[in-house]
Chains A and B, each alone.
Chain A
Amino acid sequence: MTKFFALLAILLAGTTIFYGFTQQSALVLRQEKQDNHWTRYDTQTSGSYRGGVWVTSPTRQTYGSFRGGGPGAGK
């Protein structure tokens, strides 16, 4: 029984130390897939990386200062 607990604890230690130190929860720049992203202080990403550009999310676009983004922005 304690063998099982020890195995679980070692696996847990390995996983959490790996995830913590390699920052699996961080937003990966210039990447479309963000499987492990875990927001901090409830700060939601306001867009996502698509086809080489940052595409602003619809909620972001409701704010007054929105000046457009995504493909074709600034043209």
Chain B
Amino acid sequence: MSSSPKTQRTAQFLDPFTYLTLLSAVGIFACLVFSPIFMRSLVSKTIQVDPDIPEQLAPIQLKKELIGALRIDVSAAIPDNHWVTYEIQLKDQQGQVIASGIKQAWRESGSWSEEGESGIWTEDDLVGGLDVRPTKAEPVTIVLDVLEYTDISGKEIDQPVPFKVSVVNGAIDTRYLWTGILGATFLAFLALLVTPFSGKVIIDKSVGDSDISGRGILGGAKNLVRVTVNIKSDEYSPRSLTVLLVINDGNGEQLYSTRHPVHLSLKKSEGGKVTSAKGNLTTFFILEPRSSYGFHVEVTPDSTIDRTALIVREHCKTLIPVSVTSLKSTQ
């Protein structure tokens, strides 16, 4: 005797680790979004710097901080086809340089013509930046020095260069966060990909026919069994097929027998002719007690079926809540 099957939608078998991987990616993204709250703008202005005459900004009091760094961003505003090499320096109270960085900035443009079309291109690399982390409390002075200012031919230009300077304290390095987001998203993608294949394969059979059977020892309480039927059909395939899935217990007693409609995805040649079709059926069961169970599949109409595969896995996890049919054997 067997009790009538109960089918219930449940989230009980969701894979927490897949969601944890997703959550990691979301978490880093949230940190990226909230990172500007630590930033305090100290300077934001445009200054003119004569070549070889260093220009100083007002001193800034620094102290050792746990989060963020002092960020100095500089953008040179120069005309086309000019090059400027500038240095960002940090001086201590005694006027000694304690850090410096050089940027070779340029802006070039020209015209192009190709196959009767023409236009103008411009390319530049004007922004320089230095992030510094103080190790003690001290005032520092930011100095901007133009080391070399030339046109494209190398001729020196003795004119002041306008720079847009922005100094921010508490700046976070978002490059790490972007790296983390990319990496964690990739891992989450892999986790999503492998979750449907979780669990242990108990039956994996394939035949060049429409009927297939398999038997294995599986089941038990809180053990999700995933039954997958993969069908390959030929060029005369209908759009949909019917899969009869029968489950018997160890005594051959029928516990389940249901017809499932399966829609096929048609593979077409370049001319639009159907060459083959594929479809699959995935169903979930809880089989109690742990015992020997037989699975039998019949695909109808069977005339166009090239191949049928039956895969039964146990201890499965799912991505989304699924409908699970509970079957009890009373042997």
Contact = CB atoms under 8 A, between A and B. Distances in A.
Nearest to A31: B135
Contact of B184 (A12, A38, A60, A64): A12
Interface residue tally on B, bucketed by range: 35 or more
Contact residues of B: prevailing secondary structure: mixed
A9 B24 contact: yes
B128 A16 contact: no
Contacts of A45: 99-102
Nearest to A54: B97
Interface residues of A, number: 46
Nearest to B87: A46
Given A20-B172, A23-B131, A65 B52 contact: yes
Given A9-B24, A17-B28, A31-B135, A44 B147 contact: no
A22 B97 CA distance: 24
Interface in B126-149: 127-136, 140, 145, 147-148
Contact of B133 (A29, A40, A42): A29
A60 B27 contact: no
Interface in A8-49: 8-10, 12-13, 15-17, 19-31, 38-47, 49
Contact of A42 (B25, B35, B125): B125
A16 B179 contact: yes
Interface in B153-198: 171-177, 179-180, 183-184, 187-188, 190-191, 194-195, 198
B201 to A, nearest CB: 14
A70 B98 CA distance: 10
Contacts of A49: 98-99
A72 to B, nearest CB: 12
Contacts of A12: 24, 28, 180, 183-184, 187
